Each structure stands twice: as C-alpha cells, then as structure tokens.
C-alpha cells in the first residue's frame, strides 16, 4: 500500500481544474476550486485537509462524477471523468444511507443499481462478508434509526466497499463520530484498504486523522482552493493495528509542519456562507414545516 519507492502509476489526474456552483438565488457564480492540479497514484491513500469551505467536497465530487468541472481536465485511468462509475465508491459525511432500508438492504444497494453477473446467493455472501469485516454482525435486519452514528457509518463504509471498487472516496466520513469510535473505525478502514489494495481519496479536518491514515497529505488553500503543499507521511503500515501512533518518532514533526500550514489557511478563511442544510430554494417550501403533517391548507 505504501507506494513510496515503487513505480507509481497515476490513476486520477486533475490538470488545472476549476469548478464551482451557480448560485441561483443570488444569480452569480461561486468558484470553489481554481486551477487545481493533483495526481492520485494507484494504490495510494491520499488525504485532503484544508479549511472548511475551501472546496474539498467539491474536489471529491468531481472525481465521483457528481460535479462537472468548469475548466481543465480530470481523468481517471487516462479517460476523462464523465459521471459516476463502478470503479469509484463513496462514503459520505452524513452517511447518506437510506433510512427505509435495513442494514443489509442498504449494503446491497450497489448491486441493485448496476448490472452485474452475480447470483442472488453470491450477492448475499458478499454482503454478509463485508458486514463481518466492518463489525455489523447481528445488525443485518436493523434500520439505520436504531443504530448509533458510528454504526451508521459502518453501513456507509460497507456499502462503498462491498463491490470492491478500485477507488474509495471518503468525505469526512468520521467527522460526526465520537472520538473512541473514530479510532476503531480508522483502524478498520486501514485494515480493509490494505487488504484490498484500494486507492483512497480521503477528506478530513483532523490533522491527527490525516497522519494516521494518509500516505500523502494534500493541504488545500482557502477558497478558491488550490493545492498548497503535499506532505509525504513516511511511516510504515499498519499504523493503527496496535499501539499509539502518536508515540512514533516522526509523528510530532509531521504534526507541527501540517499544523503550521493549516493554521495559516484557517486564519485566512472567509466564512463560507453556504449553509449545508440542503435547501431547495423554493420559498413555498420554506413556509411549510419539514414535518409532513403540516400544510398551509385552511381546511374548508
């Protein structure tokens, strides 16, 4: 997994890529990333850190094929990215698992959405295997609302890994999970990924998490985001299987270096004013409560 020293094959290549959003209500364009050039090598674990609102999610969404860049190119395996593909899976910050599906049905969703050649029994076996890998045994028939945040993200992770994708994209997957569960999940992720030899692009706002997981750490500057520096983490794996990673001799140096980089950016950050509550921008909806049992209907 540590690709250092081996011949590294570029897998995802962003070349002076610019991306952003049309703000419909304010009728203007918002540039999230400007001229980003970054290469993700096959089999590496690349971590993106940077101040909030600098465009990390946008970058990972471009790779996922959810957001189209305005300018520049992003290629996957030499071909321009045009929409999502089965070689790329994603773990979301807010889990994004279907609340009406049980754990096992959530995890088997990728097999329902894309054509494949596996029999029903084979799919069931893959689902069961990954359930064991992420530690969800006994919760196959549970619904997400019956699970803790950490358990929910295990479902998200299992759903992303069940198809053994070439690339795993993870957008602050453990951001909303409590510290203890987070360490367990990090170790689990490291083990899973080392096992399958996946390429990973992982976003975090935690420097410790970045050092714990990353082969390389790309520090993104303030919006519009650019790659400010790439830091190699020259620490052998597995790092999280046992013992405290913080006692590693390289740890302190790396942490300080990264902290200085990130601190500059964080201090310079303008407040990103896009609220994450996905509004539809429809004023009629604002007057409705999100609870379905209310309408403005006056009755008779």
Site map 195..214 versus ligand ADP, x via CB under 6 A: --------------------
Q: Which does 280 bind (CB under 5 to 8 A by kind): Mg ion, ligand ADP, other proteins, none?
A: other proteins
CA neighbor of 183 nearest in space, from 250, 249, 240: 240
HSE-up of 280 (CA within 13 Å, CB side)?
8
Q: How far is the CB of 74 from ligand ADP (least distance, A)?
A: 15
Q: How far is the CB of 152 from Mg ion (least distance, A)?
A: 18
Of all residues in the shown chain, the one whose CB is closest to Mg ion is: 57
CA neighbor of 55 nearest in space, from 225, 269, 200: 225
Site map 18..57 versus ligand ADP, x via CB under 6 A: ---x-x------x-x-----------------x-xxxxxx
Do 156 and 92 contact (CB within 8 A), yes or no? yes
Residues 48 to 107 in contact with Mg ion, rule: CB under 5 A: 57
Listed in sequence order, the residues at least 6 apart from 229 whose beta carbon sits closer than 8 Å to its beta carbon are 218, 219, 261
Which of 154, 223, 226, 239 is close enough to bind ligand ADP by CB under 6 A? 223
- Considering beta carbons, is residue 114 or 263 the nearer one to other proteins? 114
- Considering beta carbons, is residue 105 or 228 the nearer one to other proteins? 105
Residues in contact with other proteins by the rule CB under 8 A: 61, 64-66, 84, 86, 88-90, 92, 94, 96-100, 109-110, 112-114, 128, 137-146, 159, 278, 280, 282, 284-285, 288, 290-293, 295-300
Do 63 and 74 contact (CB within 8 A), yes or no? yes
Burial 71-106 (b: 16+ CB within 10 A, else e): ebebebeeeebeeebeebbbbbbbbebeeebbbbbb
Q: How far is the CB of 273 from ligand ADP (least distance, A)?
A: 6
Q: How far is the CB of 290 from other proteins (least distance, A)?
A: 6
Q: How far is the CB of 83 from other proteins (least distance, A)?
A: 8
Do 13 and 179 contact (CB within 8 A), yes or no? no
Do 211 and 180 contact (CB within 8 A), yes or no? no
- The torsion defined by the Cα of 268, 270, 271 and 273, in degrees rounded to 10, comes to -150
Site residues (CB under 6 A) for ligand ADP?
21, 23, 30, 32, 50, 52-58, 223, 272, 274
């Amino acid at each position: 997994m540590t690709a250092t020293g081996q011949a590294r094959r570029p897998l995802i290549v962003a070349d002076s890529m610019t991306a952003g959003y049309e703000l419909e209500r304010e009728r203007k364009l918002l540039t999230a990333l400007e001229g980003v050039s970054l290469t993700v090598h096959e089999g590496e674990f690349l971590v993106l850190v940077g101040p909030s609102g600098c465009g990390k999610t946008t970058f990972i969404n471009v790779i996922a094929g959810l957001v189209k860049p305005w300018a520049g190119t992003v290629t996957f395996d030499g071909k321009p990215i045009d929409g999502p593909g089965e070689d790329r899976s994603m773990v979301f910050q807010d889990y994004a698992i279907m609340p009406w599906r049980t754990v096992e049905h959530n995890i088997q969703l990728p097999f329902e959405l894309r054509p494949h050649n596996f029999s029903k029994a084979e799919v069931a076996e893959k689902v069961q295997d990954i359930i064991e890998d992420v530690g969800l045994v006994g919760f196959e028939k549970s619904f997400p609302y019956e699970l803790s945040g950490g358990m929910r993200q295990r479902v998200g992770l299992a759903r992303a890994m069940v198809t053994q994708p070439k690339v795993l994209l993870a957008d602050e997957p453990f951001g909303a999970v409590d510290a203890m569960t987070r360490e367990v999940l990090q170790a689990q992720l490291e083990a899973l990924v080392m096992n399958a030899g996946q390429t990973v692009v992982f976003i975090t706002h935690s420097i410790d998490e970045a050092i714990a997981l990353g082969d390389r750490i790309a520090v993104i500057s303030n919006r519009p985001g650019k790659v400010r520096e790439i830091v190699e983490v020259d620490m052998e794996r597995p790092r999280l299987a046992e013992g405290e990673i913080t006692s590693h001799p390289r740890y302190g140096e790396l942490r300080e270096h990264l902290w200085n980089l990130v601190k500059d950016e964080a201090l310079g950050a303008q407040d990103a004013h896009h609220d994450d509550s996905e509004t539809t921008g429809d004023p009629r909806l604002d007057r409705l409560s999100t609870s379905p049992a209310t309408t403005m209907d006056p009755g008779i």
